[in-house]
Structures are given as structure tokens and as C-alpha cells.
Amino acid sequence: MRRVVAGVDSSTQSCKVELRSVPGFELVASGSAPHPQVSPPSSEQDPEAWWQAFLSAFRHALAAAGDVEVAAISIAGQCHGLVALDADGHVIRPAKLWNDTTSDVELRTLIDVIGQAEFIDRTGSLPTAAFTIGKVAWLVGNEPQNAARLAMMLLPHDYLNFRLTGEFVTDRSEASGTGYFDPDANEYVFEFLHRVDPALGWESMVPRVAGPDEVVGQVLDGPAADLGIHPGVRVGAGAGDQHAAAVGLGLGPGDLCVSLGTSGVAFTPSSDPVRDPSGLINGVAGMPGGFLPLACTLNSTRVTDTFARLLGVSHLELAELALAAGQEGPVLAAFLDGERTPNRPGASGLLAGITAETTREQLARAAFEGVVFGLFNCVRLLEDAGVPTTGAVLAVGGGSRSPAYLQLLADALGRRVDVADAEQAVARGAALQALALAEGRPLVDVMVAHKPARREVAAPRQRSEQRWDRYRQVAAVTELDAQ
């Protein structure tokens, strides 16, 4: 019987499972299952849907793998979302996700009370509406009857671990995205939660923060039967999705990763904590240790999904149209669902410079470029904060399969863009943690030993400074709908 480990990516859109061999780490089988579709500003999912998708994806992978024994499991997932549980461990209400922006008013009030500088100094980040603390404030202010039942607060991937093991635990990477955890001191900032509601016992509501090499629990009998595995399988702490992707890609200091998924993210590992006074960089923790400073946009591949629908073309046809366009034509401030960087949760998109001569090719380019320029801005912010990004540039996520995204990213950065032999980087990173547990080795050592191969996919053509300047002008005048 072949031994395998399982790496799981429970994202906004779906659950993906990879089974990889022990000790060789070859991909043996994979499975996936969808999550319910969501659309900001009110973006919620029932955590039970995540569990059912996880069971379905896992069983599919297991059936495809044949005669195998699962040695360890690690789960990575979408960050920030709030899973509110009562004293019996039951879900109180649907989970508000990272791209739910309805807590903006509560969060702004909280920042006014605590102070922007204090938030950045204590947690490394200035929270946006994506962060968990804003959703906690929303729950207290809008659903007091549910807040009164609140006994435990988990992140999405923590909830799956809770269902697997019964353990109330998180990891440092996920805790650092809540807005009430200091990743440098590795401790919760309870006074921030007491500013939300001084009467609630927050100290008992937050999960224990486990290390990357720790077995946080074992699969219980019931979940084991549901999955089709033996009980007692070791389970790792897991991580946030981008944090696990950094491990799956084998990123080193200075390597820049640009993630093109439901959201867009630019990030790079750092051994030192980052405190950006502007609040635009999130100084969050890394999965294996250290830090993973990042900047995130709310709008990524959903933008090109929208323009493909409007133009009545496939994604490949949209990419071909975009690559056929020249330097002329409109530019798009792609804030279709609001925005996180810059922090404009009530904003909408703005297409500027359209004329009677505008072509389909130009519209397609504007769509891709609006996403790319938002991420290019994130890279510039990282550099402005003193974070080195001079290593390799790697593109990941669903958008990395599009030649238009890759080429326009290379053009914007003026640098070659690579992809790694890690199509599912998040699940792969989680599987590396599971392998480390199975072999009893530190995650950092296993990560280095199984660093995936990389290949160039795009080289810069003509730099697009003029279009970038036009984009910045358009983005600057886009106003909040609520103001």
C-alpha cells in the first residue's frame, strides 16, 4: 500500500485536494468541488458547504489514487473570514468572507477609536473591511442576539481543522490577518477586541496559535469514516492561502509572487517584520516562520470574467483580443466590487478614454491591464516600504494561465515573468506541511528539498509608462459611492 499525504486548498470558489507520495512527493491524484458563488458587497458562505466540498474533493482524489494510506493532512484556505461558533461548536450564522465589505462603517469607527498608527504598530497592518476584526464589530453592532451566543471565533481553514480534529486551533499566518494579533510578538491584542465590546470574554473565544511543525490533532472517527480513511491521521496547523502558496512555490527572500485569482495579491517572504506607516502593506506572518508582507486587490480575474461576458467571447478569445491591441485606447480603474488597495470598499469601476473609434481589442486590453496595474501598484508599495523584490517574478492563480495577463504583467514590471511547476501552489504548500509531519522534519527543510522547477513565460516588450500614468489619473478620481 502506497503512503500519501493530503494538501488542501479551501478557497473562495472551490476546494481542491492533492494527494502526494511519501517520501517522493509525486502527485498521485487530485480532486475538487465547488463552493457557493458569492458577490460583494455582501459575501457570505455557509461553512457546512466548505465541509461538504472538502469531503467530496477528498473522496474523489482518494478514489483516483487507488490503494493508498493517508499519513497526514494539512489544510490552507481563504483568509480573514469570520466563522462564529456557539458554546457547542455550532455555526451561529453564515461566515462573512474576506471580500465582504459590509463592515466598512464599523471598521472605520474602530480605526478612529484605536488609531491608525496603533493598529499598524501592534499588528503590522491597517485593517480594511476584509479583516476579521471588522466582521466581529459588524456582528456585535448589527446582530447582538448572535453576538451574545458567540463562544469561539475561527478562520475558514481553522473551521475545517475543527471539524476534522475537534481542536480549537489556528496558525500564525492566519492569526496575523485578523486585526487582533501581533505576528512579531506572537500574541493576541485583546485590547482591540475589548474596544469592540468591553463586556465579552474575548480571551476564551480565540483559538490557540500552533507552529508550522506541530501536529495539532488527529482525525476523529466520524470524519475519518466520511473521508474513507483510518482515524488518527495527523493534521497540521495549515495556513492562509497566499502563505501556503509561498511554501508551495519555494519562494526565497526577494522572490516576488503575483497571484491572479478571485483577488490579486503581490507578496514576498521577509525575515524581518514590516511596519508600513501608510497602512497599505499588510505585515503578516509567513507559514514556515518569518513574515510575508503583501498588498492585496479585491478585483482580479472576476474583472476579465465580466468583460468576456460583455464582449461575448471566451477567456482565450479575450486574451487574443487584448494582445492584438496597441498602446491606444481606454484605461480601466478596475474597482468593480469596491477595492482594498486603495481602500475604497464602496467604489465601482471606471472606464475612461472610450471614443467612437474604440475597438474590442482595446476594451479587452483595458480589462486585463486594469487588473495588472492594480497589482503593479501593489509591487511599488512593497518597494516603497523597503521590502526587496529583486528576485524572480512568479505568477500564480487561474489568471497565470492567460497569456494576456502574463505578457501585460511583464510589460508593466519591465521584467521577465516565470511560472513554477506547481499548478495548485496553495494545495502543494499544504501538502509540504503534511509531508513534513509524516517524515518528522522541519517544514523549512522539506520546502527547500522539494522546490518546484520554474520556466519563463513572458518577457517585457515596450514599457507601458504612458498607459500607467493614465491609469493612475483615472484611479485617483474614482470616488466612493458612499461619499
Give me the mean pLDDT over the 348-361 stretch.
97
Give the residue from 84, 381, 399 showing the smallest Cα distance to 258: 399
pLDDT at 435: 98
pLDDT at 330: 98
- pLDDT more than 90, % of the chain: 92
Give me the mean pLDDT over the 426-447 stretch.
98
Between the CA of residue 158 and those of 209, 220, 400, what are the distances in Å? 11, 15, 28
pLDDT at 483: 40
Domain boundaries, the chain: 2-240
Residue 481 has pLDDT above 50, yes or no: no
> How many CA within 13 A on the CB side of residue 104?
19
Mean model confidence pLDDT for the chain: 95
pLDDT at 478: 62
**Reduced to 3 states, what is the DSSP secondary structure of residue 297?**
strand
* Class of residue 26 by CB neighbours under 10 A (exposed 0-12, middle 13-18, buried 19+): exposed
Quickly state the pLDDT bin for 369 (edges 50, 70, 90): very high
* Assigned fold of 2-240: Nucleotidyltransferase; domain 5 (3.30.420)
pLDDT digits (tens, 9 = 90+) for 197-237: 999 999 999 999 999 999 999 999 999 999 999 999 999 99
pLDDT at 480: 38
Residue 245 has pLDDT above 80, yes or no: yes
Residue 482 has pLDDT above 70, yes or no: no
Give me the mean pLDDT over the 26-52 stretch.
96
Against a cut of 0.95, is the pTM above it? no
CA distance 298 to 319: 21
Quickly state the pLDDT bin for 462 (edges 50, 70, 90): confident
User: Which residues are catalytic, by number?
Assistant: 241
Quickly state the pLDDT bin for 243 (edges 50, 70, 90): very high
Biggest CA–CA distance in the chain, Å, is 66
CA distance 345 to 119: 19
Pairing mode of beta strands 350-352, 331-333: antiparallel
pLDDT digits (tens, 9 = 90+) for 167-180: 999 999 999 999 99
Give me the mean pLDDT over the 57-65 stretch.
98
pLDDT at 200: 96
Quickly state the pLDDT bin for 340 (edges 50, 70, 90): confident
3-state secondary structure 461-481: CCCCHHHHHHHHHHHHHCCCC
Of 148-152, 194-198, 310-314, 421-425, minimum mean pLDDT range: 421-425
Q: Are 124 and 131 in contact (CB under 8 A)?
A: no
